[in-house]
Amino acid sequence: MTLLAIYAAEGGHHPMPEHLISEAALIQQELGQWGIQFQRWPARASLPEGADQAAILAAYAEEVAAVQRDGGYQTVDAIRLQPNHPDRAALRQKFLSEHTHSEDEVRFFVEGRGLFCLHVGDAVIQLVCEADDWISVPAGTRHWFDMGPEPQFCALRFFNNTEGWVAQFTGDPIAERFPTLPELINPSGR
């Protein structure tokens, strides 16, 4: 289930959310206040086990073409991580560090789930994205991403540059104070 949790950025270690929202229209409205776009699209293709990037992009060619046309995105890739990925721990640590991008971060989740954490003004917004969720985070927004210790997701990533994913890390340890994906979806497991 897609879930939005909103916290005060200055909260202590593992603060309680001030708001929890699970209705897509309300999530879209709430995120829109911070300039973050959120939509629900049908993840219509069932991807076979072991589908490579070319197969994933071919399965979603219509969506890719529409987003590229409307947003001017030069590069598109697909990231698919599963619990047995050999680099899952290193990738998780890399994405868990707060960073920014010089371009919008645009993702369409077609399988599984992941947790976007956005540090905007005096708030931290956590959004559990699942299949069918499309999000666009404005350039320069401080954020991090948690795929959990046993990742299970596939997302299409759209870029305005030919280099793909390029991050500027802030060095702020804020991510350490907020729930991770497993903690947010299963708070009693803390």
Extents of the domains making up the chain: 3-189
Q: What would the mean pLDDT of 136-144 be, rounded to a whole number?
A: 94
| Residue 7, beta-bridge partner list | 124
Q: Quick one: pLDDT at residue 190?
A: 47
Q: What would the mean pLDDT of 89-102 be, rounded to a whole number?
A: 91
Q: How far is 1 from 86, CA to CA, in rounded Å?
A: 27
Query: In the chain, how long is the greatest CA-to-CA distance?
Result: 45
Residues 23-38: tens digit of each pLDDT: 999 999 999 999 999 9
**Of 186 and 35, more confident:** 35
Q: What would the mean pLDDT of 109-138 be, rounded to a whole number?
A: 95
Residues 6+ apart with CB under 8 A from 53: 77, 78, 80
The CATH number, out of the four listed (1.10.3720.10, 2.60.120.10, 3.90.226.10, 3.20.20.10), of the domain defined by the range 3-189: 2.60.120.10
- Is pLDDT at 162 greater than 80 in this prediction? no
Q: Quick one: pLDDT at residue 9?
A: 83
Residues 6+ apart with CB under 8 A from 131: 43, 109, 110, 111, 112, 113
**Of 2 and 159, more confident:** 2
Residues 39-68: tens digit of each pLDDT: 999 888 889 988 999 999 999 999 999 888
Q: Quick one: pLDDT at residue 108?
A: 95
Q: Quick one: pLDDT at residue 83?
A: 94
Q: How far is 167 from 170, CA to CA, in rounded Å?
A: 9
Range with lowest mean pLDDT among 1-15, 19-33, 43-57, 85-99 = 1-15
Q: How far is 81 from 69, CA to CA, in rounded Å?
A: 27
Q: What would the mean pLDDT of 5-16 be, rounded to a whole number?
A: 83
Percent of the residues in the chain that have a pLDDT greater than 90, as a whole number? 68
pTM for the predicted model, two decimal places: 0.91
